[in-house]
Every structure is written in C-alpha cells, then in structure tokens.
C-alpha cells in the first residue's frame, strides 16, 4: 500500500473480472486498488478485512453493509455499489457516519436475456435432454409450446418491458401486473394489465421483474403459488426474498407447478443442503443475470469514474440522497 494514496478494495470478484474490465490504471498515483476474489460472510471477519480501506467497490449485492459493519470501518469514506441498487446498504447509517454512497449505472439487456434462457431451458427440458444424451439416452421429454401461451410479467419497467417484447416475438399473449402498473403504459406496449390473482391463474409462465423493498418482500406467497396452473413455470431473476422460498420448494416437490427458473435466492451463495439444490424441475443459476462482459465494463468503468469524482470533490450518482 502507498502511504499517501487512497486505499480501494474491490470485493466479491468471483469471476476475476474486475481486473480485466476495470480501467484501474486511471487511478494511478491517486489510489491503490486491491481486488478480493472470495466472499466473506461473517461480519467480524469482513470488518477486519476491510478496515484498512478508504473506498470499497461492492460487486452488486453479494455483501451486505448493515450499520454494525459500517461502524467498524473507520477509514471508509466512499462505498461504490455496482449498479444503482442499494438494498444491501444501510444508507441512513452511511449518512450518519459520513460515508458517501455512489452507484455506477447498469444495463437491462443481460437480465432479460437470462430470463429467456431460463424460460426456454425449462420449456424444452434442456438440462434433462443434455444429461440424457451424455448418459446414452435419446429423446426423454415433451416440450411446452410458447407460441399461443400466456406470459405473465410482474413488474413492467424497463426490464419487464424488454422481457414482454421478446415474449410477443415468440407469439405469446402477454399480461402484466404490479402495484404501480399504469394500464396506459401496458396498453401502449400491447400488454394487458390485469390483477395479481388473474395473472397468477392465467399465465403459463410467470416472470418477476420488480425491485426488492419492504412492499415486495414476500410478494409471491404460498397462497399465490397455489393459484398457478400445475403446468405453469415461475421465473425469478429479480431478488430471492420476493418469493416465499420454502413454499416454492414445497410446490416443486409436490408437483404443484411445472417448474421454476431461479437466478436469485434468499441467501447467496446458496447454502449447501438448501432444499432448492435438490428440488425437481428446476433450472438454477448463481445470480448471473447481469454477468456479461458489457455489464462488467459499465460497472467497473463507472466505479473508477465515481472514485475520481470523489477525489475531485464532486461525487456522482449518489444513492440515498
């Protein structure tokens, strides 16, 4: 570490992407950058690791920063969240402690693309057929038609609209619901605005695209899952706690729904022995909806911009202000 330089920690770089996609050389002489490729869960160990740093670049929401952690980081002056989400940061505590919190911006395209990878993988049983061929079998399943089926989109923002348009390209009827949905916006996109119960009862595929908040936590309960057709698929690339995870695991094990494609979970990484690891008719990915080369360039370029702006006394993309 350089005595006079700002000390920057980039954490949770599972894919070892930060060094490749971030223009860290632009900080030469002004900041020393240390990249951590592992994940620290225990709050005491996390605080001990990060205590020497003035700036932390958090890779999405892989690590939480509640008050009790922030209070143990006396040098921390700037916390950069890749993307623009802040659900993992106690913003009130950060303000009280004098910690600036900045975002980097993001891209809606990659999560929409992964949503469709999960839908198509489930509908055509790709993992089963791939495993079957490798085991010497040939032709084990019967696929589900998407053309003419109904796609139910929960949350019709930028991401939900992109997912809806792709569904329309497949020839699907698209319906949508959210707590704030404007029927005129839906109609303008060729989407029918419906009630929550109607969407869950009618859709052949239900896909979730709302932010996690106190209002959306547990938005899809066990009672909601019971409304789904037994032939329906549930897709969640938003946030795990939006869906009652225990109820979903039970619905899958009982055959109450046809399957689930999940990129997000209540606890990440998904713990060993978690019921969803062995639940049938699932397609699981490790929160990679945003994980593409283009997104990482946006994230880490934005992080360097945020650090430079902070050093210049003009912080940008402030969160929680």
Q: Give me the helices (H) in the chain, please.
A: 18-21, 43-50, 67-70, 91-96, 109-123, 126-134, 158-169, 183-188, 196-202, 222-225, 245-254, 275-278, 293-311
Q: How many CB atoms lie within 10 A of CB 187?
A: 11
Long-range Cβ contact pairs of 21-24 (< 8 A, separation 24 or more): 21/293, 21/296, 21/297, 21/299, 21/300, 21/301, 22/296, 22/300, 22/301, 22/303, 22/304, 23/300, 23/301, 23/304, 24/300, 24/304
C-beta separation of 317 from 102 below 8 A = yes
Check 60, 162, 287, 305 and give the catalytic one: 287
Q: Are 234 and 185 in contact (CB under 8 A)?
A: no
Active-site annotation holder among 268, 274, 308, 317: 268
Give the length of the chain: 321
Is residue 113 annotated as a catalytic residue, yes or no?
no
Torsion of CA 78, 79, 83, 85, to 10 degrees: -120
Q: Does 239 qualify as catalytic in the annotation?
A: yes
Active site residue 109: no
**Which candidate in 60, 239, 245, 305 is catalytic?**
239
Answer positive or negative: Cα dihedral of 64, 303, 239, 39.
negative
Which residues, 6 or more positions from 315, have their beta carbon under 8 angstroms from its beta carbon? 78, 100, 102, 306, 309
Residues annotated as catalytic (active site), given as ranges = 239, 268, 287
């Amino acid at each position: 570490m350089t005595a006079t330089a700002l000390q920057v920690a980039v954490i949770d770089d599972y894919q070892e992407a930060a060094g490749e996609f971030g223009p860290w050389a632009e900080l030469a002489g002004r900041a020393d950058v240390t990249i951590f490729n592992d994940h620290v869960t225990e709050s005491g160990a996390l605080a001990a690791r990060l205590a020497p740093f003035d700036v932390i670049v958090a890779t999405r929401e892989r690590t939480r920063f509640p008050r009790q952690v922030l209070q143990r980081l006396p040098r921390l002056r700037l916390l950069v969240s890749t993307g623009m989400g802040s659900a993992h940061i106690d913003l009130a505590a950060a303000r009280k402690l004098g910690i600036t919190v900045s975002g980097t911006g993001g891209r809606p395209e990659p999560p929409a693309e992964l949503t469709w990878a999960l839908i198509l993988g489930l509908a055509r049983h790709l993992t089963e057929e791939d495993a079957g061929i490798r085991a010497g079998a040939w032709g084990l399943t019967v696929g589900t038609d998407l053309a003419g089926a109904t796609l139910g989109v929960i949350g019709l923002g930028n991401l939900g609209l992109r997912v809806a348009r792709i569904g329309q390209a497949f020839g699907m009827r698209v319906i949508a619901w959210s707590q704030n949905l404007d029927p005129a916006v839906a109609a303008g996109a060729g989407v029918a605005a419906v009630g929550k119960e109607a969407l869950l009862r009618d859709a052949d595929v239900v896909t979730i695209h709302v932010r996690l908040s106190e209002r959306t936590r547990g938005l899809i309960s066990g009672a909601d899952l019971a409304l789904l057709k037994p032939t329906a698929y549930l897709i969640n690339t938003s946030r795990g706690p939006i869906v009652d995870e225990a109820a979903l695991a039970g619905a899958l094990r009982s055959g109450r729904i046809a399957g689930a494609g999940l990129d997000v979970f209540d606890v990440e990484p998904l713990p060993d022995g978690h019921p969803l690891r062995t639940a049938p008719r699932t397609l699981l990915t490790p929160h990679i909806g945003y994980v593409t080369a283009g997104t990482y360039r946006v994230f880490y370029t934005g992080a360097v911009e945020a650090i430079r702006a902070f050093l210049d006394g003009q912080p940008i993309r402030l969160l929680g202000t």
